[in-house]
Amino acid sequence: LIHSLSVYKYLRNFTKTLDNMQEDSLVIMGLLHDICKVNFFKKAIRNVKISGERRWEEHEYYTIEDQFPMGHGEKSVYLAMRFISLTDEEAISIRWHMGGYDDAARAYAGGRAQSNAFSTYPTAAALNIADMYVTHILGQ
């Protein structure tokens, strides 16, 4: 939740100079871009050896349990659209918010689609930048 709220905050900042931006759309994009992560991680236990000792301790960690293997951005779009209608701009921005980290963007056709999305909808590029900033600079 903290991550998505921060992405929304920076998305608002990064889109101030764009014309006709709807606040509702910024809220939707910022808060729902990672909705695919809901029920995606599961707590598990593993034994970890204590350094320099002959004993083990149980430690909690998170494992991935992908119950709906659709992909990251496209899954977030699909899940959001189960509950609300998305504009083309919202759907495309959420779909491509991973930028170059999206496996589809690494293929020729996917890279062209992403480039076209960023050119057509500057908010798609802004959402990617906001997400990367919050993740890699702020560490959230």
**Residue ranges covered by each domain of the chain:** 2-37+70-137
Return the pLDDT at 110.
Answer: 78
Determine the angle formed by the axes of helices 72-81 and 23-32, rounding to 10 degrees. Answer: 120
Of residues 103, 100, 99, 87, the one with CA closest to residue 124: 99
Q: Could you tell me the two tokens for 26?
A: 């910024």
Q: Is the pLDDT of residue 1 over 90?
A: no
Percent of the chain scored above 90 by pLDDT?
Answer: 76
DSSP designation for 11: H
pLDDT tier, 69 (very low <50, low <70, confident <90, very high otherwise): confident
The residue-averaged pLDDT of 47-54 equals 91
| pLDDT for residue 95 is more than 90 | yes
Q: Which long-range contacts (CB under 8 A, 24 or more apart) does 101-107 make?
A: 102/72, 102/73, 103/71, 104/71
> What pTM was estimated for this model as a whole?
0.85
User: What type of residue is 39?
Assistant: N
Residue at token pair 């909808």: 121
